[in-house]
Amino acid sequence: MDKHCNDKADGVTLRYSPELDHRPPKLREQHEMIKEGDRIPAVTLKQMTAAGPTDVPLADYCAGRKVILFGLVGAFTPPCSASHVPGYVDQAQALRAKGVEAIACVSTSDFFVMDAWGKSLGTGDSVDMLADGNHEFTRAAGLTLDLSSVGLGERIHRSAMVVDDGVITYLAVEPDSNSVTVSSAEAVLAKL
């Protein structure tokens, strides 16, 4: 991890510096980032369904099929709402034609927010909106983006991965979480 990490959100420069990290040591722990060839972490996410909040064991969700998981900083944030999620909704049919059986958006927002956001963007059956409210996946995958210094807390790095029967076959992490380039639906489609 770089000693200093710069990011921008809605025109505000965000700067993380480990010297300013005053959280208890346990919260500062960072797992090594997952990589291609690794198995997806066996954690449980949440999804709002007609029956209410439902556990989604990620290993089971990815078992026996090809899945795209894309992570983003937060619900209702500008790049996420303007291009990241809509890109996957727009490209869902093309991605499925390449053998993808499920597409999921993962954020550290809670399942109520993810559900409302998905409805506002018209995700329907195109994209599953999965909440990592406890940051289990974000931390286990080593994808934590600490924006505590600007009041946003820990988030997930903007990223995308292809998971084939539980094994990560493609992983892309954006160098700038305001950009939607290597983690876009179009970029992932080109890699399939």
Query: Taking the domains of the chain in order of start, what are their residue ranges?
Result: 5-191
Backbone angles phi, psi at 125, to 5 degrees: -90, 0
5 counts as catalytic: no
Rounded to whole angstroms, the Cα distance separating 146 from 21 reads 9
pLDDT of amino acid 125: 93
What residues in the chain have per-residue pLDDT under 70? 1-31
Look at domain 5-191 and name its CATH class. alpha beta
Catalytic residue among 5, 62, 80, 105: 80
pLDDT of amino acid 164: 98
- 3-state class of 169 per DSSP? strand
Q: Two tokens at 47?
A: 């999804």
Closest among 9, 29, 34 to 18, alpha carbons compared: 29
pLDDT of amino acid 145: 86
pLDDT of amino acid 26: 40
pLDDT of amino acid 21: 42
